[in-house]
């Protein structure tokens, strides 16, 4: 119940954040505009709508995490409200989990709203319910969960600005993490190769969740790819949250 209460309060704070509404409006306008411009797409309107819609889902989702999620924990420390919260019978790991779940709830609302809008635009284009688009949207949501856990981890021991910077860096590098092993093999230094290999295993492989290309071209998402990526994302998220709880439990607020 304590975790749920913290999550509910975090969700309400996210809904009161004007930045979230700005992101939602921009994303919806972007998706709807593809329908207006589709006559100029020379028969590729549906592909453009899917590509723009799924890209917007990922882009505005990570922006929401950077804008709101990077300060989830630190703002409580900065405002000293953490002392009030922890003076009650609330364990520190419960606080971390509640913050994460609250942000995850806000992302659910964002993802569902954008996917519904995208499906409506596709229906207006004469297409039926596009299941592969929903699968791609789901994997994007799992990716956002991974990034939210990373934002919570950094927020548990650094400032909001640093958390946002680190989170964005993980997002960018995470889409190229699979190239690190190829890069490491070409390095002359054994130490440099070991560093690259270490980063490969630490940084999440976010390309596992990127199925946009196959969906845009009308292909379905294989079930084994969907399940493997989901399992990887959830396990990585769990591991990062455990790490965040350990770091936060050792933090001194005096």
Q: Given pLDDT bands bounded at 50, 70 and 90, which one contains residue 226? A: very high
Percent of the chain predicted with pLDDT > 70: 93
pLDDT band at 211 (very low <50, low <70, confident <90, very high): very high
pLDDT higher for 185 or 198? 198
Distinct helix (H) and strand (E) counts, the chain = 12, 0
- 41/234: higher pLDDT: 234
- pLDDT recorded at residue 234: 96
Strand blocks (E) in the chain: none
Rounded to 5 degrees, what are φ and ψ at 159? -70, 170
Average pLDDT, the chain: 84
Q: Is residue 254's pLDDT more than 90?
A: no
pLDDT (average), residues 83-99: 84
Conformation bin of residue 27: beta by default, left when phi > 0, alpha when psi is -120 to 50: alpha
| Residue 175's pLDDT band (cuts 50, 70, 90) | confident
pLDDT at 152: 92
> Does residue 184 carry a pLDDT above 90?
no
Q: Is the dihedral of CA 189, 192, 196, 198 positive or negative?
A: positive
For residue 219, pLDDT over 70 is answered with yes
Q: What is the pLDDT of residue 40?
A: 53
Whole-model pTM? 0.89
- pLDDT tens digit string along 116-153? 888 888 887 777 678 899 999 999 999 999 999 999 99
Measured N-to-C along each axis, helices 92-124 and 223-249 cross at an angle, to the nearest 10 degrees, of 150
**Which of 37-41, 100-104, 205-209 has the lowest average pLDDT?**
37-41
């Amino acid at each position: 119940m304590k975790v749920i209460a913290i999550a509910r309060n975090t969700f309400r704070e996210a809904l009161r954040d004007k930045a979230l509404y700005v992101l939602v409006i921009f994303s919806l306008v972007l998706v709807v505009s593809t329908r207006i411009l589709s006559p100029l797409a020379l028969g590729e309107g549906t592909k453009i709508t899917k590509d723009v819609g799924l890209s917007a889902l990922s882009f505005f989702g990570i922006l929401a995490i950077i804008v709101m999620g990077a300060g989830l924990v630190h703002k409580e420390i900065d405002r000293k409200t953490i002392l009030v919260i922890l003076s009650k019978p609330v364990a520190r790991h419960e606080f971390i989990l509640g913050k994460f779940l609250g942000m995850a709830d806000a992302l659910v609302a964002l993802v569902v709203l954008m996917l519904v809008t995208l499906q409506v635009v596709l229906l207006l284009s004469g297409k039926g319910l596009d299941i592969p688009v929903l699968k791609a949207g789901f994997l994007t949501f799992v990716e956002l969960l991974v990034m939210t856990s990373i934002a919570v981890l950094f927020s548990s021991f650094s400032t909001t600005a640093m958390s946002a910077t680190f989170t964005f860096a993980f997002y960018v590098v995470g889409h190229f993490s699979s190239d690190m092993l190829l890069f490491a093999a070409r390095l002359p230094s054994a130490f440099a190769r070991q560093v690259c290999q270490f980063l490969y295993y630490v940084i999440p492989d976010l390309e596992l969740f990127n199925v946009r290309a196959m969906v845009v071209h009308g292909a379905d998402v294989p079930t084994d790819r969907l399940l493997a990526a989901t399992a990887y994302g959830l396990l990585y998220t769990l591991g990062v949250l455990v790490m965040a709880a350990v770091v936060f439990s050792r933090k001194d607020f005096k």
